Amino acid sequence: MVKSTVKLPTNALLEALNLRPKHVFVSGASRGIGEATARLLGDKNFNLTLASRSYNRLLGVAMDIGTQKAHAVTMDLADENSIDAAVAAAESRFGPIDIMICNAAVHAETPLDDVSVEARQTFRRVIDVNLVGTFFLAQLATQHMPSHGRVLFIGSTLGRFGAPRTHAYSASKHALLGLARGMAHELSRRNIRVNVVNPGWVDTRMARDALQSMAQAAGETLQQVTAQQIGQQPVRRMIKPIEVAAYLEFLIGPGGDAITGQGIDISGGAVMV
């Protein structure tokens, strides 16, 4: 057999030519906004690490995208060791993380008049997952992140204003902007941009569960509460997960290079600043 003398380009050369597929880590890719983002980017020239607690669901998404360019890792944001292991597994599969999408979060009601042990545990759990674990994940990803990297936190319009019974969730989402602003300063000399994308009501399991809890607390139907919430927005409909994903794709690209330390609202006009 004649041996080929054609030399394949090295990683460094591919990088210089901007051809190496960027490595995107999506937390919470097992459903909702994270899954829509993974599927959208999976159709483009990216390598993807998909992380959350549900390995089988993640694996299904990875297999649909193609296991050459997507893999699943189990990660619980409430468990530091599992965050460390997930980032290590991601880097060993596709190299340093270029784009960290911190999307995973939990929503739970934390009403003021509930001072039970369980209510306090819920408060701590929401802050632990949505803020503490989310920061540790972003922090780890930036240790080896190449120039022109991105950290994108998924916040919420509840990081812009408050609402009854959502104190832990709202506090955790407000805090993300503080994180992003500090990180944006610190990472700018490495050409890494850090932003928070704040969705309004997006049609996912989290939104449906939250609206159901609100309906229960108010003694109203799900349809009534949904209509009230959507009725306050100039764009009177639920946002689709793909609409958030498409904006994340824009921020990852060259159009996002001059945007950092910002909270950007995809809220159907519920927030106007």
Ligand X SMILES: NC(=O)c1ccc[n+]([C@@H]2O[C@H](COP(=O)([O-])OP(=O)(O)OC[C@H]3O[C@@H](n4cnc5c(N)ncnc54)[C@H](OP(=O)(O)O)[C@@H]3O)[C@@H](O)[C@H]2O)c1
Closest CA to 146 of 97, 88, 92: 97
Residues 56-75 that bind ligand X (CB under 6 A): 57, 75
Q: At what angle do helices 32-42 and 241-252 cross, to 10 degrees?
A: 50
| DSSP secondary structure, 207-254, as one string | HHHHHHHHHHHHT--HHHHHHHHHHTSSS-SPBPHHHHHHHHHHHHSG
Binds ligand X by CB under 6 A, chosen from 105, 127, 138, 230: 105
Among 101, 131, 141, 154, binds ligand X (CB under 6 A): 154
Q: What minimum distance in Å lies between the beta carbon of 212 and ligand X?
A: 13
For ligand X, the binding residue among 202, 245, 248, 251 (CB under 6 A) is: 202
Single out the residue of 37, 47, 103, 226 in contact with ligand X (rule: CB under 6 A): 103
H or E stretch covering 272: none
When asked if residue 225 is in the footprint of ligand X (CB under 6 A), the reply is no
Alpha-helix runs per DSSP H in 11-162 = 11-16, 32-42, 55-65, 80-94, 117-127, 134-143
Q: Which strand (E) or helix (H) includes residue 179?
A: helix 167-187
The yes or no reply on residue 49 touching ligand X (CB under 6 A) is no
Instruction: Give the residue with the Cβ less far from ligand X, 20 or 180.
Output: 180
CB closer to ligand X out of 185 and 236: 236
Residue from the set 22, 25, 28, 99 that interacts with ligand X by CB under 6 A: 28
Q: Which helix (H) or strand (E) holds 151?
A: strand 150-154
Q: How far is the CB of 136 from ligand X (least distance, A)?
A: 11
Residue 21: strand, helix, or coil: coil
Task: Please identify, using beta-carbon distances, which residue of 20 and 28 lies nearer to ligand X.
Answer: 28
Q: What is d(CA 130, CA 169) in angstroms, rounded to the nearest whole number?
A: 8
Residues forming a β-bridge with 23: 47
Rule CB under 6 A: say whether 37 interacts with ligand X.
Answer: no
Q: How many residues bind ligand X (CB under 6 A)?
A: 29
Q: Is the Cβ of residue 146 or residue 242 nearer to ligand X in the bound state?
A: 242
Query: Least separation, in Å, of the C-beta of 188 and ligand X?
Result: 24
Distance CA 199, CA 226 (A): 16
Q: Does 31 bind ligand X (CB under 6 A)?
A: yes
Task: Check binding of 76 to ligand X (CB under 6 A).
Answer: yes
d(C-alpha 238, C-alpha 24), whole Å:
27
Output 14 or 222, the one with its CB closest to ligand X: 222
Rounded to the nearest 5°, which phi and psi values hold at 248? -60, -40
Question: Using CB under 6 A, which of 42, 149, 199, 268 touches ligand X?
Answer: 199
Among 40, 59, 78, 119, interactor with ligand X by CB under 6 A: 78
CB 65 within 8 A of CB 59: no
**Any contact of residue 204 with ligand X (CB under 6 A)?**
yes
Amino acid found at 187: L
Site for ligand X (CB under 6 A): which residue of 20, 24, 25, 30? Answer: 30
Binding residues vs ligand X (CB under 6 A): 27-28, 30-34, 52-54, 57, 75-78, 103-106, 129, 154, 156, 199, 201-202, 204-207
